[in-house]
């Protein structure tokens, strides 16, 4: 690679010559399903979504997955490209991207046994543990027909103006199911030893190359880490990469972990670039450009991987949802201006798994580009925003960006509200980045910041609009002994005002209860900052050699004995994030935390916390009881303003505290500011 010399991150912005075409830099926008792919009527929105990312400077974009036939659907009537009349809608997307001098590949994704419908097929009749449907095993003729379907879909993609396709060969979808012994028990020419299991993948690439010609990009997403039992071993992965190269692929992208894997691969607690080492390990074995992926969210992380020669490109998927201008900002040396993906999954993956359109917690415009527009105002106003938590920060910066004169008040000495508490949880270090982004954005948009100022009705005279974003107060409990000195609030513990005893009961198992559990069982540096410790805890083979790259998990000794309690019956944590709840539950379980539902709190005294579960009384001999019993809106200011006859806008926790999270707070603040 010849690094560019005149810009920040020179390796990241060196062009990549693919022989028949050239990429302007090393940023690939990784494939993400947004939900806009599924209906022809949404393609104008999809085109606007990609246009913003192309304009933002990414070199090569990859669409969400399109199935090559009906049985390959992810869900009934999901995205697919198999008929000539489906081509036209895609031209809006490809034209939009080419208008900004970027290139775009369509991802070909056959869901295999992950298809959420009864038509699904797989190499063998083996049900996935995460899907209620059992697949039909493909016949040998069916396999041949599938290869032809992939080639036809690639040809149609070329007709639609795509620069290439990405063949999804990882994450446990159909092709990966052929490759791994876990899911391929065939005894015909498509099963058996590694060479026969990978033949399906190789034939697909070979046939696409034959059909689409030499000047068509074929990215092959190769599962470098299956992270499931009976996945591929390293020798087979290298053999597969060489065969895929020989079959005519242009680039190999890294695939990390099947969807059914019990090792987190993209959550916020996964260390940055945790898996880049496995891409680097493959580098000496193939001549094709390789793409590193997963938890690469800031330019210095990407640059370090490329500068060390561990990959030729980096894949940014969620980071470009969070900030379409990521590449342009990095190129200009303005990393501080990047709205960083905090890997929460709350508005992207969680939405997709709930069949809702994806968006982004820190950027509610993501996949809503034509609907949520921050137009410059023609009538600038003086606006006061009270509360610099996520809701107030979003509202103030969007309003100021539109041209209003905004003053932002906070009683605290720093911006951030509850994010200053959340950032202290081990595994939530990324929350610092959101605060850094907003600090920068306040200056950039010219918001007048008044910290250390408790705003009252008299402070707020002379403004055209007043926005109250004063957040919440923690809910208190009222069982006997609730005022015992050992009973404290989560704020006391997380802000370091109280040091918890060796045995602790946590009352309330919502998001904050689980976070407090994580805080209590860890001591010292967070494992999320140390990939080696993190891999040992989760059982990833540090040498990436073993089958599935799995090793025996070695959780570190918990710092405390913790009980996590809730009154409602059932398993605590059932309401946590769709794609991350299991990670929180597994972490605490590995640390020996006892999680109990259906608990009645009888009282606290010097001996500890008395509870009743399943009709029997127990004494938990704890020295600290941490109350995480939810939150109530902080509305004194809004009420006082209204009593004084003033009109106010109330957002975030001050509006509705129940089930409030930062996604709703930022979304509500941004949407209000777009209309002021
Ligand atoms: P807040 O963040 O509460 O901010 C309100 C601000 O108003 C405060 O800074 C306060 O000082 C200020 N204020 C109040 N009254 C006045 C006044 N009169 N004058 C001036 N200033 C005033 N959410 C997620 O989505 N994902 C997570 O993973 C997540 N993790 C969390 C972990 C923890 C430990 C905690 C505590 C919260 C977490 N949350 C998470 C919740 C999220 O932080 C809140 O939903 C969000 O901060 C609410 O935003 P807000 O702006 O409404 O209020
Ligand atoms: P929460 O999710 O509403 O949970 C509150 C818990 O307290 C529940 O377990 C509830 O269960 C219990 N509770 C309620 N009233 C009680 C009472 N009077 N006495 C005893 N227990 C009581 O609230 P939270 O945990 O405080 O979280 C606040 C918000 O922050 C949430 O909306 C959450 O989405 C957000 N957050 C999100 C994340 C994330 O990772 N996405 C992390 C942290 C916080 P029972 O009634 O069954 O006891
Ligand atoms: Fe990243 Fe969270 Fe936004 Fe998804 S919702 S892109 S994980 S910040």
Q: Is residue 217 in a domain?
A: yes
Element (H, E) at 245: helix 234-247
Give the DSSP letter of residue 250. S
Q: What is the pLDDT of residues 58-114, one digit of tens each?
A: 999 999 999 999 999 999 999 999 999 999 999 999 999 999 999 999 999 999 999
Q: What is the pLDDT of residue 7?
A: 80
Pick the catalytic residue from 49, 114, 150, 173.
Answer: 173
According to DSSP H, which parts of 15-160 are helical?
A: 43-55, 87-98, 140-159
Q: Which residue has a Cα nearest atom 21 of ligand 1?
A: 410
Determine the residue of 343, 414, 417 to mutate for testing ligand 1's pocket, defined as the one with the most ligand atoms within 8 A of the Cβ atom: 417
CATH of the domain at 655: 3.40.50.720
Q: What is the pLDDT of residue 39?
A: 94
Average pLDDT, the chain: 96
Q: Is residue 617 in a domain?
A: yes
Locate 542 and state its tokens.
């540090």
Say if CB 383 and CB 676 are below 8 A apart: yes
CA 415 to ligand 1: nearest atom:
9
Q: Is residue 563 in a domain?
A: yes
Q: Which of 321, 346, 371 is the last residue of a domain?
A: 346
Q: What is the pLDDT of residue 8?
A: 85
Do 282 and 194 fall into the same domain? Answer: yes
- Is residue 140 pLDDT above 70, yes or no? yes
Q: How many residues does the chain have?
A: 676
| Structural domain containing residue 404 | 382-473+632-675
Do 156 and 294 fall into the same domain? Answer: yes
Do 465 and 512 fall into the same domain? Answer: no
Catalytic (active site) residue 173: yes
Q: Which residue has a Cα nearest atom 46 of ligand 1?
A: 662
Do 447 and 486 fall into the same domain? Answer: no
pLDDT band at 577 (very low <50, low <70, confident <90, very high): confident
CA 629 to ligand 2: nearest atom:
7
Give the mean pLDDT of 281-304. Answer: 97
- Is residue 47 pLDDT above 90, yes or no? yes
Say if CB 408 and CB 450 are below 8 A apart: yes
CA 568 to ligand 2: nearest atom:
47
Nearest ligand to the C-alpha of residue 389?
A: 1
- Is residue 206 pLDDT above 90, yes or no? yes
pLDDT band at 1 (very low <50, low <70, confident <90, very high): low
Q: Is residue 8 in a domain?
A: no
Q: Is residue 571 in a domain?
A: yes
Give the DSSP letter of residue 617. E
Measured from CB, residues less than 6 Å from any atom of ligand 3 are: 318, 321-322, 341-348, 360-362
Using CA atoms, how far apart are residues 651 and 672, in angstroms rounded to an integer?
Answer: 8
Locate 423 and state its tokens.
């950032």
Do 405 and 273 fall into the same domain? Answer: no
Q: Is residue 61 in a domain?
A: yes
Element (H, E) at 624: strand 624-627
Q: What is the pLDDT of residue 657?
A: 84
Do 467 and 392 fall into the same domain? Answer: yes
Give the DSSP letter of residue 67. B
Q: What is the pLDDT of residues 501-554, one digit of tens each?
A: 999 999 999 999 999 999 999 988 888 999 999 999 999 999 999 999 999 999
Say if CB 101 and CB 24 are below 8 A apart: yes
Q: What is the pLDDT of residue 6?
A: 67
Q: Which of 346, 370, 401 is the last residue of a domain?
A: 346
Using CA atoms, how far apart are residues 85 and 362, in angstroms rounded to an integer?
Answer: 37
Q: Which of 291, 325, 346 is the last residue of a domain?
A: 346
- Is residue 55 pLDDT above 90, yes or no? yes
- Is residue 3 pLDDT above 70, yes or no? no
Using CA atoms, how far apart are residues 136 and 340, in angstroms rounded to an integer?
Answer: 42
pLDDT band at 449 (very low <50, low <70, confident <90, very high): very high
Q: What is the pLDDT of residue 660?
A: 85
Three-state DSSP class for residue 504: strand
Q: Which residues contact 459 (CB under 8 A, 6 or more apart)?
A: 384, 409, 453
Using CA atoms, how far apart are residues 585 and 570, in angstroms rounded to an integer?
Answer: 13
Q: Is residue 584 in a domain?
A: yes
- Is residue 292 pLDDT above 70, yes or no? yes
Q: What is the pLDDT of residues 629-664, one digit of tens each?
A: 999 999 999 999 999 999 899 999 999 888 889 999
Using CA atoms, how far apart are residues 630 and 624, in angstroms rounded to an integer?
Answer: 18
Give the pairing of strands 631-633 and 472-474: antiparallel
CATH of the domain at 620: 3.50.50.60
Distance between Cα 513 and ligand 1 center (Å): 16
Nearest ligand to the C-alpha of residue 478?
A: 2
Site of tokens 């989560």: 490
pLDDT band at 578 (very low <50, low <70, confident <90, very high): confident
Nearest ligand to the C-alpha of residue 366?
A: 3
Q: What is the pLDDT of residue 575?
A: 84
Do 574 and 463 fall into the same domain? Answer: no
Say if CB 312 and CB 26 are below 8 A apart: yes
Do 226 and 162 fall into the same domain? Answer: yes
Do 160 and 172 fall into the same domain? Answer: yes
Q: What is the pLDDT of residue 172?
A: 97
Do 588 and 463 fall into the same domain? Answer: no
Q: What is the pLDDT of residue 574?
A: 85
Strand partners, 121: 136
Site of tokens 């560019």: 4
Do 622 and 665 fall into the same domain? Answer: no
Q: Which residue has a Cα nearest atom 2 of ligand 3?
A: 344
Q: Is residue 174 in a domain?
A: yes
Using CA atoms, how far apart are residues 364 and 665, in angstroms rounded to an integer?
Answer: 10
Judge if the beta carbon of residue 477 lies within 6 A of ligand 2: yes
Do 164 and 213 fall into the same domain? Answer: yes
CATH of the domain at 110: 3.20.20.70
Q: In the chain, how many domains are there?
A: 3
């Amino acid at each position: 690679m010849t690094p560019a010399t005149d810009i920040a991150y020179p390796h990241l912005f060196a062009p990549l010559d693919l022989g028949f075409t050239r990429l302007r830099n090393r940023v690939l926008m990784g494939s993400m399903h947004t939900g806009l792919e599924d209906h022809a009527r949404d393609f104008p929105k999809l085109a606007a979504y990609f246009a913003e990312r192309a304009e933002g400077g990414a070199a090569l974009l990859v669409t969400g997955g399109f199935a090559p036939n009906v049985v390959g659907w992810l869900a009934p009537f999901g995205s697919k490209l198999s008929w000539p009349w489906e081509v036209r809608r895609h031209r809006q997307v490809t034209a939009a991207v080419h208008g900004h001098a970027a290139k775009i590949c369509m991802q070909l994704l056959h869901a295999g046994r992950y298809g959420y419908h009864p038509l699904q097929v797989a190499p063998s009749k083996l049900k996935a543990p995460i899907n209620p449907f059992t697949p039909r095993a493909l016949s040998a003729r069916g396999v041949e027909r599938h290869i032809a379907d992939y080639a036809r879909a690639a040809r149609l993609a070329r007709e639609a103006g795509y620069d290439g396709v990405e063949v999804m060969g990882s994450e446990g979808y159909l092709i990966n199911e052929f490759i791994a012994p876990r899911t391929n028990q065939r005894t015909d020419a498509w099963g058996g030893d590694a060479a026969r299991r990978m033949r399906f993948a190789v034939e697909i690439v070979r046939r696409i190359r034959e059909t689409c010609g030499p000047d068509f990009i074929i990215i092959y997403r190769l599962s470098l880490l299956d992270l499931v039992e009976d996945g591929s071993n390293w020798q087979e992965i290298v053999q597969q990469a060489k065969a895929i190269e020989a079959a005519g692929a242009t680039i190999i992208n890294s695939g990390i972990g099947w969807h059914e894997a019990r090792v987190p691969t993209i959550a916020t607690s996964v260390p940055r670039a945790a898996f880049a080492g496995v891409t680097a390990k493959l580098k000496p074995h193939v001549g094709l450009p390789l793409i590193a992926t997963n938890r690469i969210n800031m330019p210095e992380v990407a640059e370090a991987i490329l500068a060390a020669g561990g990959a030729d490109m980096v894949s940014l998927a969620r980071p470009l949802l969070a900030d379409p201008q990521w590449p342009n900002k990095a190129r200009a040396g303005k990393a501080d201006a990047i709205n960083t993906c905090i890997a929460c999954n709350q508005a992207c993956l969680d939405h997709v798994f709930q069949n809702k359109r994806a968006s982004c917690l820190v950027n509610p415009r993501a996949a809503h580009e034509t609907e949520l527009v921050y137009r410059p105002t023609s009538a600038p106003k003086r606006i006061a925003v009270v509360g610099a938590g996520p809701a107030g920060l979003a509202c103030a910066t969007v309003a100021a960006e539109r041209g209003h004169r905004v003053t932002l008040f906070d009683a605290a000495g720093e911006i951030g509200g509850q994010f200053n508490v959340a950032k202290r949880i081990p595994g939530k270090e990324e929350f610092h980045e959101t605060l850094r982004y907003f600090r920068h954005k306040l200056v950039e948009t010219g918001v007048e910041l008044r910290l250390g100022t408790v705003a009252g009705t008299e402070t707020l005279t002379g403004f055209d609009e007043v926005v109250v974003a004063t957040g919440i107060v923690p809910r208190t409990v009222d069982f006997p002994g609730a005022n015992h000195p050992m009973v404290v609030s989560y704020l006391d513990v997380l802000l370091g005002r109280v040091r918890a005893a060796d045995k602790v009961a946590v009352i309330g198992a919502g998001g904050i209860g689980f976070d407090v559990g994580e805080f209590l069982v860890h001591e010292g540096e967070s494992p999320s900052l140390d990939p080696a410790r993190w891999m040992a805890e989760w059982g990833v083979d540090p040498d990436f050699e073993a089958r599935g790259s799995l090793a025996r998990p070695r959780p570190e000794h918990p710092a405390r004995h913790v009980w996590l309690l809730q009154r409602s019956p059932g398993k605590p944590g059932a309401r946590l994030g769709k794609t991350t709840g299991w990670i929180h539950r597994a972490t605490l379980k590995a640390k020996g935390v006892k999680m109990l539902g259906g608990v009645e709190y009888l009282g606290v005294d010097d001996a500890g916390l008395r509870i009743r579960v399943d009709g029997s009384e127990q004494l938990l001999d704890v020295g600290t009881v941490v109350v995480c019993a939810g939150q109530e809106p902080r509305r004194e200011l809004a009420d006082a303003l209204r009593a004084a006859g003033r009109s106010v806008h109330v957002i975030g926790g001050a509006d509705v505290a129940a089930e409030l999270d930062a996604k709703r707070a930022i979304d509500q603040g941004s949407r209000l500011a777009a209309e002021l």
